[in-house]
Structure 1
Amino acid sequence: MYDIVIVGAGPAGSNLARLIGSKYKVLLIDKRDLENENPQNHAIKCCGGLLAPDAQKMIAKLGLGIPKDILVNPQLFAVRTIDLTNNLERLYQRFYYNMDREKFDKWMVSIIPTSVDKKFNSFFRSFTEIPGGYEVRYSHNGREMSAKTRIIVGADGALSKIRRNLDKGISTPKQYIAIQEWFECSNTVPYFTAIFDEEISDFYSWIIPKEKYLLLGSALSPKDGPWERYNRLKAKLAKLGFNFDSKVKTEGAHIYRPKRLSQFYTGRDCIALVGEDAGAISPSSAEGISYALKSSLYLAQSLEVGIDGFLERYEQKVKGIKLNLLIKNMKSPAMYNPFLRYLAMKSGLQSIR
């Protein structure tokens, strides 16, 4: 009988396991192999691998320091903004850590207490309520298994089975498909590129340099021919001089974009949601690591005095996250309304040459 079963070992799940693993009996489940080097089972996460300032602040608040071998070249201090709708371009100073996302997730797992039971190569199947808690069913290396627990924590991102079983009648954040391809690139690109084009997406696209590669990604509506739009984006960027001939690999994932506070959901009974499961992800940039670390910290703090009443304490602590999401949604029109974005970029305010 576990105290807590955590489904998902990304930054939210692994940070929670690290913080509570010495106090509670914890089982951590993830479909990836995050402890071994296995070329047949890469821990692929469709992510640009940029650690934004808010995430850097949370790393500092947690008292952690990132090992240097997680960082990759080049480190980025500028964002090249390309507005294809308005035919405008600007450069803005920003500060990101450029990192290997797979190594980052494995590092987060490596600092979890050894008392935590970890089941990787495991797929969550379902849960049922039983006296005193829940029975969680999952498959591990092809074998069907189960575990009993008092609390379930959903930390496995958008389209989580746990959230889908909980939020009947609860508003779900808008869903996108993130498509990202890696291309070989011999030229050094010293900035992160953000691309806006209403013909492609009402969200945004990106280009990120990483060692000898360029990553091209886009957040796209799943209902409007995402691959056709993605290929159209590549064609437009090729006309600007980008070379996408030498593809190495393709990644994809579902992502949430919360537009209303009602779409942020912490869970019910003894089932809690953290990170993107809860709808904690930036509606303006899709940055999620800072929210994953923050929400998992708040849940860990809510469990410090025991299990009874933990969800009510968690709901109180996440009020700051809700306020942050509200503010970012208020700022979004300046980025995503073509006319307002035109005015902001045309002015050159805060841009650099």
Structure 2
Amino acid sequence: MDYYDLIIVGAGPAGSTLASALENSGKKVLIIDKQNFPRDKTCAGWVTPAVMETLNIDPEEYSHGRTLQPIRRFRIGMMGQPAVENDHGDVVSYGIRRCEFDDYLLSRVNAPKQLATPVKSIVRKDGNWVVNDTWEAPLIVGAGGHFCPVARLLGDGPGGHETVVAAKEVEFEMTPDQASACLARGDTPELWFCRDLKGYAWVFRKGNFLNIGLGREDNHKLTGHLEAFVEEMKSTGRIPQDLPGRFKGHAYLLYAHADRPLVDDGVMLIGDAAGLAYTQSGEGIRPAIESALLAADVIGEATDYSASSLQIYGDAIAERFGTRASEPDQGWQVPDWVKMPLASSLMRSHWFTRKVVTEKWFLHQEVPPLKVAV
């Protein structure tokens, strides 16, 4: 049996950030993931300058041999009506490919890694957690996304009040003919809201790579909405007529509607495993990074891993992202005051689409980068 101070299940941005943050803490850390890296990851893939700053990533250095698409504009509309385009002037976000971004973050982790290793068992033994009858630690951290096996220790799947977003998307490298015909521009992601406001679709070009997808609350209608959106985008020349491969699905919880506990005795959840995606946009990379840093701060100072001791992390999450119980909005993307018929007019407004949809809901520009001392 190999012993560690903590085991992190999931080597994505949350898990790798936590492992890196604890490097000088004296904690013996093991990070486990079911896949090898680099690995394919379904995600639209953009990160704000705040994320790059928090992770101490130099954009110029990162861009060498990797996709880094500066974003200065957004094209936003409601399906079936003309879009509004806003120019932000400066770079307000970056397009990345998750297969490259996640591998880059994990490459900075010096802790032991067990990749291509599915978690088959997690057993409580003498106050510790034993994973796959091989590795043992008093603390286990779930960083494996919505279906993380550690999250199941704190409850069997989503509860009755949780809003689960289901999404389907495809990302591929366009041929020269496709790239020249595609009207979508790299510096201008396109966001298209469903008319019932239960989700939105996107067209996101990153150099010669194109990502197309749609996410909604109601999974049973997802395919129909996606097919209609794709046909509309093809007919207007926004995307190529011939799309390779098939759309891949994934799911996640929205912060304001997630019921999952964040901690228990010897257990912590971070990132999508904790259900931290922003409620209005579904964006999860920044919450994943920040939750990992908040967790590292608590773990680095902890003298024991009881639920009461780890609750400091839960309090820090509430302070950073708000208290779930106090969130009044029902539904996914937009609060009640934006509901139809007002929404149709608002989505034609340059002020609303820029100041509220883009800068507040998607970029969170009013929230400064997180500074945590580990």
User: What TM-score, normalized to structure 1?
Assistant: 0.83
Whole-angstrom CA distance in 2 between matches of 1:157 and 1:169: 12
In the other structure, the counterpart of 1:150 is 138
After superposition, the C-alpha distances for 1:128-161 in whole angstroms (9 at most, x for unaligned) are 1110311112xxxxxxx63111111000111222
In the other structure, the counterpart of 2:58 is 65
Following superposition, the deviation at residue 118 of structure 1 comes to 0.2
In the other structure, the counterpart of 1:219 is 215
Following superposition, the deviation at residue 170 of structure 1 comes to 7.9
**Which of the numbers 344, 358, 371 marks the counterpart of 1:342?**
344
Whole-angstrom CA distance in 2 between matches of 1:307 and 1:329: 38
Following superposition, the deviation at residue 178 of structure 1 comes to 1.6
Following superposition, the deviation at residue 324 of structure 1 comes to 8.0
In the other structure, the counterpart of 1:89 is 83
Contact 1:92/1:350, CA 8 A, preserved across alignment: no
Contact 1:93/1:351, CA 8 A, preserved across alignment: no
In structure 2, give the amino acid aligned to 1:33: N
Note the 1:148-297 alignment, pairs <5 A. 148-167=136-155, 171=159, 173-182=162-171, 184=174, 185-187=178-180, 189=185, 190-198=187-195, 202-221=198-217, 223-250=219-246, 251-260=248-257, 263=259, 265-297=261-293
Whole-angstrom CA distance in 1 between matches of 2:58 and 2:328: 27
Inter-CA distance 111–328: structure 2 relative to 1 (3 Å threshold): farther
Whole-angstrom CA distance in 1 between matches of 2:228 and 2:349: 29
Inter-CA distance 74–290: structure 2 relative to 1 (3 Å threshold): closer
Contact 2:158/2:164, CA 8 A, preserved across alignment: no
Structure 2 unaligned blocks of 5 or more: 355-374
Structure 1 unaligned blocks of 5 or more: 35-41, 138-144
In structure 2, give the amino acid aligned to 1:216: I
In structure 2, give the amino acid aligned to 1:158: H
In the other structure, the counterpart of 1:33 is 36
Contact 1:265/1:279, CA 8 A, preserved across alignment: no
What's the Cα RMSD here?
2.8
**Which of the numbers 70, 73, 86 marks the counterpart of 1:78?**
73
Is 1:99 aligned with 2:93?
Answer: no
In structure 2, give the amino acid aligned to 1:89: A
Whole-angstrom CA distance in 2 between matches of 1:109 and 1:73: 18
Following superposition, the deviation at residue 104 of structure 1 comes to 0.9
In the other structure, the counterpart of 1:321 is 320
Whole-angstrom CA distance in 1 between matches of 2:202 and 2:155: 31
- SS of 2:103's equivalent in the other structure is helix
Whole-angstrom CA distance in 1 between matches of 2:198 and 2:77: 14
How many percent identity over aligned positions?
Answer: 22
**Which of the numbers 41, 50, 55 marks the counterpart of 1:45?**
41
In structure 1, give the amino acid aligned to 2:63: K
Task: Name which of structure 1's ranges 236-245 and 13-22 shifts more when overlaid on structure 2.
Answer: 236-245
The number of aligned residues is 330
Whole-angstrom CA distance in 2 between matches of 1:83 and 1:291: 26
In terms of fraction of residues, the more strand-rich structure is 1
